Structure 1
């Protein structure tokens, strides 16, 4: 069985869900894999609160087993904590480089995070651009905004306004699946 590692933060882990093992978007992708008869196992490697730097520091554990597809979904906490986009980009590139070094034939999918277009300033523009740059430099598919269609929609998110409810994760999974499927 091939392995897809979903490497991210609370948005990947399914923070706040009653049953993240069934309701998170990696779990919903597993249902799609099963329905399509594909011999893949979706592994949820999301850790709440992870920044790109903390993800980089825990990466080796997830590279100890086989990885056929690596779905990278970090950066939201960097954004929330006001970290420099250049540092986020460096850390994400280091993650990509380490995965490639360990598994040269691995396929990647990059799931981006964005500040809303109404947020002004250089930092916002740099953060919006870093995922596009990483995808282009590494020739990998990109879903530009993981929370597109969910962010800012009150009934799809928890009271914190950041983390999706189960219904929001269904929308996310429906958006991730068509970008992931061609890699399988």
Structure 2
């Protein structure tokens, strides 16, 4: 078929326009693929970052929960500040619950263990002592909590916070109660905070009017007591 000059020019510009549109489309597709690649790379980096961050769980009663204070004033939050200052990749979770005994903690631990744990600080027993619960029961519950954590997360490091009580329940009970923490720590080869309330317990200026729960300044001292044992582990 012989084309007229007018038909030839029309066909030429038509082909040229198609080639231009196709080229733009390919560049757009290429740009889109590059953007998707960057997004995937960014998401992979974020996932890696989250996986690299380890979790520290403080599992305890009102002392851990920071009774009477803002959560940011409680010693677990102060530990997080120390960790952040050193540029360490750990996320502190405050799993303290006011009124918790070792028995109720033994029940609640199953729910807490639904999240991954790298370091577990166990701070329970104080309410048992104040209520005069049999030392054997406190010991049994603490051991069961430790066993559950170890079974679910064998690589997790466990720290036990030691506790002492006033001699209201008699000297024998007070002495026996104090001894269970070192006994359990030795048996399970755990790091032990000898006495969580060291230099705080029994000092009116560092405790709230109830004489039991530390003030903000008291929690700062508790954080130091914890940090002495926790820092080498980190």
Q: Map residues 126-145 of structure 1 onto 2, 5 A cutoff.
A: 126-145=176-195
> Which protein, 1 or 2, shows the higher relative CO under an 8 Å CA cutoff with sep ≥ 6?
1
Which protein shows a greater Rg?
2
**SS in structure 2 opposite 1:182?**
helix
2:68 to 10, 13, 16: 16
| Structure whose residues are more often helix by fraction | 2
Equivalence for 1:42: 92
**SS in structure 2 opposite 1:66?**
coil
Matched, 1:27 2:77: yes
1:37-91 Cα offsets, whole Å, 9 max, x none, are 1100110000000000000111011100110000000000001111011100100
Q: Is residue 132–residue 169 contact of structure 2 (8 Å, CA) maintained in 1?
A: no
Equivalence for 2:43: none
Structure 1 residue runs of 5 or longer lacking an equivalent are none
- How far the C-alpha of 1:145 sits from its partner, in A, is 1.0
Structure 2 residue runs of 5 or longer lacking an equivalent are 1-52
Tell me the TM-score normalised to structure 1 length: 0.96
**SS in structure 2 opposite 1:58?**
helix
- How far the C-alpha of 1:23 sits from its partner, in A, is 0.4
Q: Is residue 130–residue 165 contact of structure 2 (8 Å, CA) maintained in 1?
A: no
Distance in 1 (alpha carbons) for counterparts of 2:191 and 2:149: 16
CA RMSD of aligned residues (A): 1.3
Q: Map residues 60-71 of structure 1 onto 2, 5 A cutoff.
A: 60-71=110-121
Tell me the TM-score normalised to structure 2 length: 0.76
- How many corresponding residue pairs? 182
1:121-175 Cα offsets, whole Å, 9 max, x none, are 3211110100010000000111121111001111110000000010000000011
